[in-house]
Structure 1
Amino acid sequence: MDENELRTAMRATITQHSEPPPMESRTALVTARRAARRRNILACAGTAVVVLGVTLAALPGQGHLGGGTAWAPAAGPSAPVEAFPTAFPSGQVPSDENTKPSWPAEASGDATADSGEHYQHGVALLEKLIEVAPAGYTVPNGTGPEDIPWRYHQATVEGDHWAYLVSVPLVKDGGTGQILVEVHGPGNDLPADPCELAQSFWGIGGSCEKREVRPGEEAGIVAGPSGRDGVDQWVAFQHPDDTVVFVAQGLSTNGEGGKPLESLPFTIDRLVEFATGDRFK
């Protein structure tokens, strides 16, 4: 093959193949937000730096982001989530501006709500979680390391739905554990199978069993202990309207350091009741 034939072959390759899709910044940013929430309540330190690094990696010219995450909450009905751009006019080159996702007004420029209906719903879920603390346990207020509140709540856009996470510490006899609730609104893409759903929680996995809670409806239960991330048992349930509720408890708040509880605060039956009822839906 001479030089002219090589040039012709290269031109044909370029013109006969479609242009590669632009960078999916939405996926990377949602992944970063999920990681941020998880570190906020479990590690209570260093989250700002880590999230910033992951978010920058998702922007053109800042490197590449690989991997994924298995987690994310919402109560319905939720307001429609504003669509993200996924394609560009022919010939337009992706840039920092035209790949930037559009967030709802209440989120003040990012995926986390800091005012409005969804923010207030997160506050309400936190109050409901505090109310279920068992007798003999206290729920401390204030902040931990890095001034992160012990009583934690967050409402976040997760793709095409709203997601909520609330968590509180539970203290008894000098030991500190936790209970947390994560809710995903209708429109989520979480697994429909109860055990696959439970095992998707934070990517922890674990041995799962199914329990029928109503005719034709089952919850997924991971009884642990998992030994990971301060959670030892959790229940997952998908309600008929597609809302998903995870309820988890742990003997400690972050899986390391500090004195853990001697026993878990709730029975599995109680966790099932929380996940399948209307309190956190």
Structure 2
Amino acid sequence: MDENELRTAMRATITQHSEPPPMESRTALVTARRAARRRNILACAGTAAVVLGVTLAALPGQGYLGGGTGWAPAAGPSAPAEAFPTAFPSGQVPSEENTKPSWPAEASGDATADSGVHYQKGVALLEKLIEVVPAGYIVPTGNSPDDIPFRYHQATIEDGHWVYLVSVQLVRAGRAGQILIEVHEPGHDLPADPCELAQSFWGIGGSCEKRAVRPGEEAGIVAGPSTRDGVDQWVAFQHPDDTVVFVAQGLSTNVEGGRPLESLPFTVDQLVEFASGDGFK
């Protein structure tokens, strides 16, 4: 084969084979957001925004999900989440532009709300969380020396539904732990079984037990023998309207040099009450 024949063969190979399909940005984005959310809370909920921003910067038009600090009840039902595009109009060829997710107007170019009803619900959840902190604990304001906020709230659209994440650092006698709540609005694909639901929290797993809350309703409870991923104990509950609430607490904040609490701030009964009540829905 001479040079001309080789060139002809290569051109034929290119023109006769279809272009490989573009990467589905939605799948990549959701995976990155979930990983970033976990890192955020583990860092005590501040650096999370930076980590997520960096993670998603590699994806066109992507945003991030955070980690936290504190909260309060929502004033009313949230507006329906704007769904991600799942198909292209007939005859339209996928491109970098039309494969990008469609973000709601209240999120300025990414998945995290910075205004609007969902943003305000995150603020309300944080205020509510601060209200239930037990006597004797301090909820500091501001940031740590590493610029990690002690109080955090966030609302993010994930896979077509809204997720709220709030957390606060709890300080007592020079020691610090944390409590956080994660709320998934209806439309998620989380497990229905209470223990499978609890074990799905950040993918940590753990030994689970079920506890009856009301007739026909159970909460899943996971308690580890030692701190793992910044949380020692958590409860998961799925409400009749399909809203899922996770409530987790930890003896430490994973802040370098910090001393952990000597005991967990809340009882299991209190965590179950928070998860199954209407205050954090």
Instruction: Provide the TM-score with structure 1 as the length reference.
Output: 0.82
Counterpart of 2:217 in structure 1 is 217
CA RMSD of aligned residues (A): 2.8
Matches within 5 A, 1:48-127: 50-59=51-60, 77-88=77-88, 89-90=90-91, 92-95=93-96, 97-127=97-127
Preserved contact between residue 227 and residue 255 of structure 1 (Cα < 8 Å) = no
Whole-Å separation in 2 of the counterparts to 1:109 and 1:84: 14
Task: Compute the displacement of 1:143 (Å).
Answer: 0.9
Report the AA paired with residue 159 of structure 1. D
Counterpart of 2:259 in structure 1 is 259
Task: Compute the displacement of 1:237 (Å).
Answer: 0.2
Preserved contact between residue 153 and residue 164 of structure 1 (Cα < 8 Å) = yes
The range that moved more, 138-147 or 241-250, is 138-147
Whole-Å separation in 2 of the counterparts to 1:188 and 1:81: 11
Q: Figure out how many residues of one structure are paired with residues of the other and give that number.
A: 258
1:26–1:93 distance in 2 versus 1, CA, 3 Å: closer
Task: Compute the displacement of 1:20 (Å).
Answer: 6.5
Preserved contact between residue 206 and residue 226 of structure 1 (Cα < 8 Å) = no
Counterpart of 2:31 in structure 1 is 31
Q: Structure 2 unaligned runs (5+)?
A: 1-12, 62-72
Counterpart of 2:132 in structure 1 is 132
Task: Compute the displacement of 1:226 (Å).
Answer: 4.8
Counterpart of 1:43 in structure 2 is 43
Runs (4 or more) in structure 1 with deviation over 6 Å come to: none
Counterpart of 1:70 in structure 2 is none
Task: Compute the displacement of 1:32 (Å).
Answer: 2.4
Whole-Å separation in 2 of the counterparts to 1:178 and 1:234: 12
Report the AA paired with residue 121 of structure 2. H
Task: Compute the displacement of 1:225 (Å).
Answer: 3.3
Whole-Å separation in 2 of the counterparts to 1:26 and 1:259: 40
Instruction: Provide the TM-score with structure 2 as the length reference.
Output: 0.82
Q: Structure 1 unaligned runs (5+)?
A: 1-9, 61-73
Task: Compute the displacement of 1:211 (Å).
Answer: 0.7
Counterpart of 1:148 in structure 2 is 148
Preserved contact between residue 78 and residue 161 of structure 1 (Cα < 8 Å) = no
1:146–1:34 distance in 2 versus 1, CA, 3 Å: farther
Task: Compute the displacement of 1:228 (Å).
Answer: 1.5
The range that moved more, 208-217 or 222-231, is 222-231
Task: Compute the displacement of 1:189 (Å).
Answer: 0.8
Counterpart of 1:68 in structure 2 is none
Report the AA paired with residue 55 of structure 1. L
Identity of aligned pairs, percent?
78
Preserved contact between residue 41 and residue 152 of structure 1 (Cα < 8 Å) = no
Task: Compute the displacement of 1:102 (Å).
Answer: 1.2
